[in-house]
Each structure stands twice: as C-alpha cells, then as structure tokens.
Structure 1
C-alpha cells in the first residue's frame, strides 16, 4: 500500500551516551508484520511494517537491554503483534495491552502468560473513537489481582477533567509522556503545577519522561523538553521511566534520530544514580519484579 507511512529513522546515529548495562526501553511499539498481523479496520494511521526484528536490531545498536512493547493503536485490541514480539524477545521484553472492554478473565490470564503486565487507556480523540471511563475502571479493577498496572494517555488540556478518573484507578498508574504538556511554557507554570499536583496526590502515580520529538515543537536539541523533564526526574526519581517511542507513530514529518533520543538521557538524568533509577531500577521493579529482587536490583520487601 503506497499510502503507508514510515515514521522511523533508517540509519540512526550511535549515541554519545553509553547506556548502563541492563537499561530498559520502557515505551516502544511494533507494527505488524501485517501479512501475519493485520492493522485494525479502525486504525487512524497506516504505518509500514516495523516488526520485532527491526526493534531488536535497534535495541542492540543503541545498547538497550530490554523493551516494554506498548500495543500500538493501529492494531486496536488485537494484541497478537505485541505478543509475537514478546515471544521472540527471548525473555527481554514485556508488554502493555489495549483490551476489548468485554475481555474474559481467561483472555487476561492468556495475556499475562504472554508477558503482558499492564493495560493502556487512550484519551486522544484523534486516535480513538471512544474512551468510556466507567468501563476502563472496571478493567483496572479486574487486572489488580494479576499485579498489573494501568497506563493512561491524555493531553494536558484535559487533566482537570481526568482527575476523578485517575483518583479512582485502583492499580499503580503510569502517565504517558508527562501528560503531553506544552513544553514551550515555563516549567514552573500552572500546567506543570497541575501535573505535579497529580503526582503528589498518590505515591503510586508514575510518569514516562519520553518523546522530546513529539512534545518539543522547536526540534532538536529539544532544549524545552529537557527543561521540563529534568526537574521531574530529580523530584520523582523513584517514579519515572524512559523509552524511545520507536517506531514513533505519526511522526513521519519529523522523524527523530534514535541516537539523539538516547543522548537526551544525561540531560534529564545527569547523575549515575538518577540514570540507574530511570533506566534500570524503576522499570525492572514494574515489569520483572521477581528478577529485580533476586538480582538485588531492588531490595526485597516483606
């Protein structure tokens, strides 16, 4: 199909920053391969294939050890492509699913066995047709016994109306991409103040300090993004994770260099301790908690 888009860099640079061993890319996707895993008929965008082989090649090129594969909205609630990538990762990937609201307990267990550890609720109107909060809350209650968490994607202008919904989620919550703030504004302004108020309201609300390419309209070197994200990493250092967002859905007009994305890390997490928490400790205790405890990455809890 000639109208299918390419949103990823064909030859990303080698980062100047060397990732610490064990670093986790906690937000990436796969597209297809569509001959085996077709796009959803409701897909709002139609990307070219970007399957697990491409993802793992990028992982190795950048020096990443593990991936958290987030179900791409172009695949709808059919998580087969994500499960396929996890299965091919040789234990180096976990996943975040998007599920049908009528999903059975048996199917949730099957997703768990396949490496899924969270569900994602998307509130971007350009990507989804409906976002029923009451039904989402029911799903979040049903995943609680599995030890999963909930990922929520929304834009900053609806944060206030989202608060009661977020307050009611019974699992740990991760907010995608810092709630998509306008990073050209002052980082101490009302928009980030509202987001910090959300983080302060519950110790189990985390965020992903991701997507400078998506959030910073001034482009590389993404100075406004760094100005926004760095204080969050410092102030909420036990509740932040990082990811590439590869293959960068809908970014075909401003394709980022993944090497440059890695080089953002020391700008938002300038110390080795912050880098270890952002890249290793935090994602490991979310997605591989038993291994993290066994290896002493995080301390054992009673």
Structure 2
C-alpha cells in the first residue's frame, strides 16, 4: 500500500521555480558536492523523529537542475528529515550511476553488510550532525565507532556544526579517523569578520589537521545582508586561498529550513568565481577535489 504524501511545514519556502542559467560557465566535469533529495514522501516517508517536514523534491528534479546549471555530477547528502533511512539517497545514486555519489546517516548498529550494500549503491561517506535544532544529541563515542567501521570502505565523514560549538568539538574532530569534511565552513557568524577568533579557530583547525576539508557553501544561510551575499565572500575566499586542495562546493538544493528567502540556484553558481578567483582554483574546487574524494573508491 502506498503511503500518503506528508504535507510540508506551513513556513517552508517553495524552491525557486525558474532558476537562471548561470553567467559563470562551469569547468567541464563539475560536481555539485552538496545537495539533497526529499522523498517523494509517498515512496520514501520522512522520519517520525524529524524536526521539519519539507515539500517533496525528488531525484528527477535534482537531475534536471544539475543539467540546467551545467554540472556533470552530484554528491547527494542525506537530509535529517529522512533520519537514518537512506533509501531515497541510495535510489537516486543508483538511478544516476556514475554521475552521483551519496553521503548517508547511520547508527551505531550499522553492519558491515549494510555498509557494503550502501557502497555498491554509491554511498561514499557518513554525516554527523551536531546542530541541536535539527537533531537530538549523540554521544561522541557513537560517532567514533561509526567512523572506525567506514574506514574499510575508504569513506570520509561529513560534520555539520555551528561556529559556537567548534571550540568544544576540536578535540573530537582531531580524533576522527580518515578525511573529515566540514559543512558550510562551520557556519561562521559573518557579522564578526574573518579576523575574529571564532573564524580563525576554524582556519587554525584546517591548518593543523591536513585531513580536514571544508565546503565553501551556503552563502544564503550565512548572509546577513542578503543577495548577492557579498558579506560571505571574504570567509569563503580565505579558505579557498589557504586550502585550495581541500575545498568543495555545492548548491544545497533544495535548501532545507530556509526562512528568510529562497535563493536562485543559477545566482548561487555565479557566486563561485567571487570566492575561487582563478581557473586553477575553480577546477580544484569543482572537479579535481570532489572527484578525488568521492570517485576514487
């Protein structure tokens, strides 16, 4: 029996209906290295413990956006609204074949057989979420156990936290094995400026641990000024300049939990040359780095 679609939250913003064709022409083989699929909930129900209910935005819409913007591949990140049920991401990866990889959310009881099945489907990492408004707290030892299990498969971990939590998380992050990818630059408070100790702590973390990468993503979440997100440029630019071989970029489509405005994904692509200012930086950010991390295994 097919489940009924679940209605989205009343304050959920509708995805931009007609994103522009970007003015910036992406390098051949570019990867949208941070995006999501939501449902469709009749086929892939949202988790009972979810903190929000989005509108359905499935794989067909994601792949149409990929082609419209000029990307060649996607890295699809498990959204918290699906909890630890990774079927929607795995289904999208299987449909796309070599054109997509996935990041899963798993529990401590995950088995080797389950990880092997995920790997076959295209999963290449797990995500640990520390944002309290999105997930319930998980003991660090649980995350460490999961991180140990995935090393056999050559996977990386994605960690999502906010700047205020970084200081307490530094010892834990330095304990994690393998490559660690931080979502959205650790969500800095852009009102404080790049020289503020909070952001410099993140720069120091990357400088002192060569296994830590950063997604220079989501100016629409970090901005105070709004589009075209000029207040976010110095932060992303600083990371790209300092660590060109350890940065990734993605749209974050379909933009979970945004309450202020819904970005035009074409305009987000036009943000890229403002933060990666040379062709070499752009190719590393969009092609070389994601292919090395997610397509080498």
Fold agreement, TM-score > 0.5? yes
Unaligned runs of 5+ in 1: 291-302
CA RMSD after TM alignment: 1.1
Question: CA–CA distance in 2 between the matches of 1:3 and 1:142?
Answer: 35
Matches within 5 A, 1:282-301: 282-289=289-296
Which of 40, 62, 66 aligns to 2:69? It is 62
Higher mean alpha-carbon deviation, 76-85 vs 87-96, is at 87-96
Equivalent pair of 1:68/1:94 in contact (CA under 8 Å): yes
Which of 198, 214, 217 aligns to 2:205? It is 198
- Listed one character per residue, the Cα deviations across residues 51-103 of structure 1 (whole Å, up to 9, x for unaligned) are 00000000000001100000000000000000011111132000000002211
- Does 2:76 align with 1:100? no
Partner of residue 13, structure 1: 20
Equivalent pair of 1:7/1:47 in contact (CA under 8 Å): no
Tell me, what secondary structure is at the counterpart of 1:35?
coil
Tell me, what secondary structure is at the counterpart of 2:75?
strand
Tell me, what secondary structure is at the counterpart of 1:141?
helix
- Listed one character per residue, the Cα deviations across residues 191-236 of structure 1 (whole Å, up to 9, x for unaligned) are 1110011101211100000000001121001011111111110110
Equivalent pair of 1:208/1:242 in contact (CA under 8 Å): yes
Question: CA–CA distance in 2 between the matches of 1:70 and 1:43?
Answer: 16
Partner of residue 155, structure 1: 162
Matches within 5 A, 1:33-112: 33-112=40-119
Partner of residue 232, structure 1: 239
Equivalent pair of 2:7/2:55 in contact (CA under 8 Å): no
- Superposed displacement of residue 253, structure 1: 3.6
- Does 2:138 align with 1:131? yes
Partner of residue 22, structure 1: 29
- Does 2:280 align with 1:273? yes
Matches within 5 A, 1:192-271: 192-271=199-278
Tell me, what secondary structure is at the counterpart of 1:67?
strand
Q: How high is the TM-score relative to the length of structure 2?
A: 0.95
Question: CA–CA distance in 2 between the matches of 1:52 and 1:217?
Answer: 31
Unaligned runs of 5+ in 2: 1-5
Question: CA–CA distance in 2 between the matches of 1:84 and 1:99?
Answer: 16
Question: CA–CA distance in 2 between the matches of 1:6 and 1:36?
Answer: 22
Question: CA–CA distance in 2 between the matches of 1:171 and 1:50?
Answer: 32
Equivalent pair of 2:25/2:70 in contact (CA under 8 Å): yes
Question: CA–CA distance in 1 between the matches of 2:229 and 2:13?
Answer: 22
Q: How high is the TM-score relative to the length of structure 1?
A: 0.94
